[in-house]
Amino acid sequence: MYYLALLAAEEGGPASVPGTDEYAASMQRHQEFWTRAQEAVAGGGLYPGSEAATIRHDGGGNAVVTDGPFAEVTEVVGGYYVFDAADLDAALSMVRQIPEVSTGHVELWPMVFWNSQDEPMDTWWAALLREPSGAANEPGSAEWETRVTEHKRFVEIAGDRIKGSGALFPPASATTVRLRDGEILLTDGPFTEADEIANGIYVLSAPDRDAAIALASQIPVGSKGCVELRQIVAG
């Protein structure tokens, strides 16, 4: 099964800024983890939350874009991995080895599916789909199939600009992971500081921020959901 690991920590200092020596050292540690972690099939660091765009849709179907992450939270998602693991225990074993995992938390989500291709480039963007926790649909339900049809239309529009995509199981299946003093601490469900929780992810290719926003604005989300768009840091 595929698992999406969302890496979150407080932002601040040079270690959060691409291009600094501290950030480069962190990326090197993640590259070493990537090299030895055979279960890791995708992943990337993200530019700071201050450079994010959040896309919502008003009642008339128009996209409303705001600068910054989807919500003001203490610990901001700064990267992600996708693991192809035999089960939850195997995925948790991988999470425990992620560099800097002890500085924040990891949301671990089982995925309904994951498709990806190639290595990240500096023109790639992570579009994290978020919905209120009560709006998540059960895979196979009529509501789920309706949403699948909507996403198929987006896939037709986006074509080869989609470099990766995945849907997540409902929030009851997620696990929040913290590592403190070498001890792994597990909490059922996603991190609860915000009302909107992860629901899926696209990896998109676009030459610049405006083009990425224009493309991500066409991703179907619920009336109270949003898309958090973040540029991926090329390795």
Residue type, 120: P
pLDDT at residue 235, as a whole number: 64
pLDDT above 90 (res 11): no
- 60 Cβ partners below 8 Å, 6+ apart? none
Q: Residues 189-213: what's their mean pLDDT? A: 90
Asked if residue 65 lies in contact with residue 217, where contact means CB atoms within 8 angstroms, the answer is yes
Q: State how far the Cα of 161 lies from the Cα of 127, in Å rounded to an integer.
A: 12
Dump the DSSP string for 171-192. GGG-EEEEEETTEEEEEESS--
Q: State how far the Cα of 88 lies from the Cα of 122, in Å rounded to an integer.
A: 31
- pLDDT tens digits for 160-182? 999 999 999 999 999 999 988 88
Q: Identify any residues that bridge with 65 across adjacent strands, giving them in sequence order.
A: 55
Q: State how far the Cα of 52 lies from the Cα of 209, in Å rounded to an integer.
A: 9
Side-chain-side CA neighbours of residue 36 (13 Å)? 9
- pLDDT tens digits for 36-78? 999 999 999 999 988 999 999 887 778 999 998 766 678 889 9
Q: State how far the Cα of 15 lies from the Cα of 24, in Å rounded to an integer.
A: 8
Domain that holds residue 181: 2-233
Q: State how far the Cα of 209 lies from the Cα of 49, in Å rounded to an integer.
A: 14
Highest averaged pLDDT of the listed ranges 19-28, 58-67, 197-206: 197-206
pLDDT at residue 43, as a whole number: 94
Q: State how far the Cα of 54 lies from the Cα of 65, in Å rounded to an integer.
A: 6
Supply the DSSP symbol for 138.
P
What is the pLDDT confidence band of residue 19, given thresholds at 50, 70 and 90? confident
Please provide the distance, in angstroms rounded to a whole number, between the alpha carbons at the two ends of the chain: 25
Give how many domains the chain has, as a whole number. Answer: 1
Q: Residues 127-135: what's their mean pLDDT? A: 91
Global pTM reads: 0.94
Q: State how far the Cα of 40 lies from the Cα of 70, in Å rounded to an integer.
A: 27
Asked if residue 229 lies in contact with residue 215, where contact means CB atoms within 8 angstroms, the answer is no
Q: Say which CATH number the domain at 158 has.
A: 3.30.70.1060
